[in-house]
Structure 1
């Protein structure tokens, strides 16, 4: 479901202006920004409708994607938006959870400062708590490896849950894990191609490289002579230059004295074209991929000789084909020899939806694979590709970490319990900040319960009791009831929560260390745009301002 509502921060600003009250504090700005995406969190997250000034409408429940499209002027909100982008760039997930944790930490800090604690003390206490939580994180991990297909699929499903139905989540997860396995979990050898005009169930894993000859500048010969559509055990030539008759560069003129010289010029051009065709034929090439253009007459002659010509091959596709087929690209067709050729089990021209493509499968070089993704509309196809990218990032993260954590807020609750116990051993005034950090971690299961329609207080009390009894992998299920998350297959890479803790600490520390926001002229330096982590990054008393530029409003809420 999706609704359109006013921006929480804009509303707070308007009310403050109307009443002549001070502008929202950093904690209030954080609460308003978090409120923008709070309802998108978890498997029961609702959608946001992003409405552009030009009428463009995008519906999504990806919190990071929502914030990416907001033009934020409030300094605190800008710092938080950067934190979300940092979290997404680091691990590919956890952006909304990071924002929720930052919101809770700033709110708790405001209460502590109001009780007489110095901001520096709060920051030091938070740093102790974050260090302890990150140190204890490995004790809650479950081992995972490349052979643990079921757990890897569960990790991938975490990126889909709440965005598609269960059947689609299974399909996405299967595609992601199968694709990575096909390339020995080397994502650099796995390509994604999304095409509209089909259903998700039509998505497939292809062995090899898929060249887009429709939406890119790539072209297959389309003259009067049509080349072969399918070649088996194809020999592949690759030319990293133009294949044409050279013409004079710059200004100038060519004078011809009589028809004999004109005939000689035409004969020269024919001989150049004939030599190019002969060289390719003698080398045994079945397919020619040219990075630039190919002379029309040469294309026709090669098509008559049974050679498939693909010109203006996009650079990334050109390089991928060279690695997949084992071909050695040459700079001139005269340099081409048989040993420069690569090989593919099959090169086939095909139609995907309404688009033309060319698939080269079973190459003699490095193993490569392509995930061919389908969606009913261009928007759905693009969303499909983004979801698979998230799935791949999570699976790779789990393998890099060598373990997984129980999801559903289970790991966060376990860390919160550990910190509460550890706080008693912390001396000095920092103890209160450590306890506040522990309480803030429970914002994750609390929001999951709220979005599932359950009373968050009741859910949190029951969850604490279960963890106190030793059920450390129990979390909030999709229905709002508590479930054993490992058995339910709700898992996530440890790096997501670890990065959430690190990013939240960095962001909150940057805001709490600021005691004033000063407006400076843009000519004073590059830091005058708000900066990150410095005085321009955020602080109390800064009047929040937001405006919709680039076609998107400040916030879309429920």
Structure 2
């Protein structure tokens, strides 16, 4: 056996070990962070992403960019996950999360070069993260649900720097009104269900034509042109049942031997449909939304009764209509009663950009609302939707958590200074890791300055100086190019944006640091999808961007 090689892995597998594995992983993660860094802040630039089908996306939203980039490198994917989680949890701060994670790894690489073991760095990073959460919680201030001005400022901060900035005031106002309309109280806690805010996009008009509807917009039209176009003081019936004859549950044949019998059969069919329509009419409803179909003959009878009927409404829209109008969903015609009907001041069909839509407005206490977004082109309207989504999410998070921190890089500078003080209290090599962690957070104010065309070193020094003097809410005003009190300027963000960045960036950085062996196996030669040379994007573990 002496001198004979032993093969453990399949032929074509690739293995990268030790310092090489760490270096390649860190390089890939840093490249991803660098790709989105220029989009950070109010003066961040946009990216144009073109997919394999030729569809174009123009955005500066970190999560959208990383999702569309179709990244293959396994370590780089972990940074994408950080941004994705940030988007799902808070809605804003996606770029910050990716940039901080990349910077933590960059600082860790310097420590590895100094022969500090990755386990020690990971331990120091965890200590620093716990302390960072404690510090940032100490910086938070309370917000009340009825403080409309403060909530509007939160929405404005989220929209600033996005493509919809020209209509920032309008969109921020819409966001706050929409979110405060759908707040529920569960177990003494305020809860915001984003699903209850229906966003409808229609190309045409200007962004400024966007509006909040205190009720619902249904992207359908009434079933018959002779039905009324507008119904005032509408009594609304929501039907899960089709207004047509059901097929029999069992196979059955009807034998007709004479024209008289055929006429009787048709007459009976007509009578059965008329009975169904009469049950709807007797309920006192003036508007009917039906989740299923409406028979042609039923349409005729419903029109004669002067009802406004919409068919094939989506299940999700039916549930929102129920919340908005107070109507109950009915699955049985015999169960219809006046108590099940909902109310809306006006139900009307309007044409938006040449397409008919049904507006249900003037509900007593709408727990479901709609936002109609307008814009000159598809790209404009998509950009506006991204900004609006961020604003809706952060306002919701602020109402749920009731905690805010200042923006403009202010918490990051304070974190950096306080963590450096904390590092002095530690013994051993973890102290170096905590200092590196503290420095990593300075990437946020540095990037804000860089993207605004300011000198990052000068701005960082000015920020540090202000914080050293006890001005804990001092941040960078990129428009004036000077350090100001962000709390007075009402540039604020929900506390959860910062805590989520700290947690997600730290966890992913630690996970990547602890990898010292990358084994990429391939399917055997000739198998579908098999390719010699290792996993896609692994190659030499490099990453060109």
The TM-score bracket by the shorter chain reads 0.7 to 0.9
Residues 1:538 and 1:161: Cα distance change in structure 2 (over 3 Å): farther
Q: Distance in 1 between matches of 2:501 and 2:173?
A: 27
1:60, distance to aligned residue in structure 2 (A): 1.1
Q: Which runs of 5+ in 2 are unaligned?
A: 1-19, 185-191, 525-533
Query: Does the alignment pair 1:300 with 2:300?
Result: yes
Deviation, 1:286, is 0.8
Following TM superposition, by how much is the alpha carbon of 1:252 offset from its aligned partner in structure 2, in angstroms?
Answer: 6.2
Are 1:492 and 2:493 matched, yes or no?
Answer: yes
| Residues 59-458 of structure 1 mapped to structure 2, 5 A cutoff | 59-164=58-163, 166-184=165-183, 186-188=192-194, 189-213=196-220, 219-222=221-224, 226-248=226-248, 253-363=253-363, 367-458=367-458
Could you say what secondary structure the match of 2:520 adopts?
A: coil
Is the CA contact (8 Å cut-off) linking 2:22 and 2:515 kept in structure 1? no
| Offset of residue 119 of structure 1 | 0.7
On the 8 A contact 2:273/2:297 being kept in 1, the answer is yes
Please say if 1:28 is aligned against 2:27. yes
The whole-number CA distance in structure 1 between the counterparts of 2:45 and 2:511 is 31
Q: Kindly state the Cα deviation for residue 250 of structure 1 after the two structures are TM-superposed.
A: 7.6
2:541 match = 544
Output the CA distance in 1 between the equivalents of 2:541 and 2:483. 39
- In the TM superposition, residue 482 of structure 1 has moved relative to its aligned partner by 2.0
Task: Describe the superposition over 1:338-379 as per-residue Cα deviations: whole angstroms up to 9, x where unpaired.
Answer: 333232222111122222211222336754322222122233
For residues 108-148 of structure 1, give each alpha carbon's deviation from its aligned partner in whole angstroms, at most 9, with x where no partner exists.
11111111211110000111111101011122122211122
Q: Give the Cα separation in 1 of the matches to 2:105 and 2:172.
A: 36
CA distance in structure 2 between the partners assigned to 1:342 and 1:123 by the alignment: 58
CA contact (8 A) 1:105 1:440 kept: yes
User: What is the RMSD of the two structures over their aligned residues, measured on CA atoms?
Assistant: 2.6
2: distance between equivalents of 1:119 and 1:538?
27
Instruction: State the Cα distance separating 1:501 from its structure 2 match.
Output: 0.6
Residue 59 of structure 1 aligns to a residue in which SS? strand
Report the 3-state secondary structure (helix = DSSP H, G, I; strand = E; otherwise coil) of the residue aligned with 1:487.
coil
User: Hey, which bits of structure 1, 4+ residues long, moved more than 4 A?
Assistant: 21-24, 248-253, 536-539
Q: Secondary structure at the match of 2:48?
A: strand
| TM-score for the superposition, normalised by structure 1 | 0.86
Q: Which residue of 2 aligns with 1:507?
A: 508
Q: Paired residue for 1:10?
A: none
Contact 2:222 2:309 in 1 (8 A): yes
Q: Is the contact between residue 66 and residue 80 of structure 2 (CA under 8 Å) also seen in structure 1?
A: yes
Q: 1:329 to 1:95 in 2, by over 3 A?
A: closer
For 1:28 and 1:538, locate their aligned partners in 2 and report how far apart those are by CA, in whole Å: 17
* Deviation, structure 1 residue 493: 0.9
> TM-score scaled by structure 2?
0.88
Is 1:45 matched with 2:44? Answer: yes
- TM-fit CA distance, 1:199: 1.3
Q: Which moves more between the two structures, 348-357 or 251-260?
A: 251-260
Q: Secondary structure at the match of 2:362?
A: strand
In the alignment, what sits opposite 2:3? Answer: none
* Change over 3 Å in CA distance of 1:509–1:305 after alignment to 2: same
Q: Classify 1:421/1:27 alpha carbon distance in 2 versus 1 (closer, same or farther; 3 Å).
A: same
The answer to whether the 8 Å contact 1:160/1:169 transfers is yes
Q: 1:542 to 1:103 in 2, by over 3 A?
A: farther
Structure 1 pair 365–152 and aligned structure 2 pair: CA distance change class (3 A): closer
* Structure 1 residue runs without a partner (length 5+): 1-20, 214-218, 524-535, 547-553
Residue 198 (structure 1) shift = 1.8
Question: What is the CA–CA distance in structure 1 between the aligned matches of 2:438 and 2:499, rounded to whole Å?
Answer: 15
Provide the C-alpha distance between the structure 1 equivalents of 2:460 and 2:364, rounded to a whole number of angstroms: 57
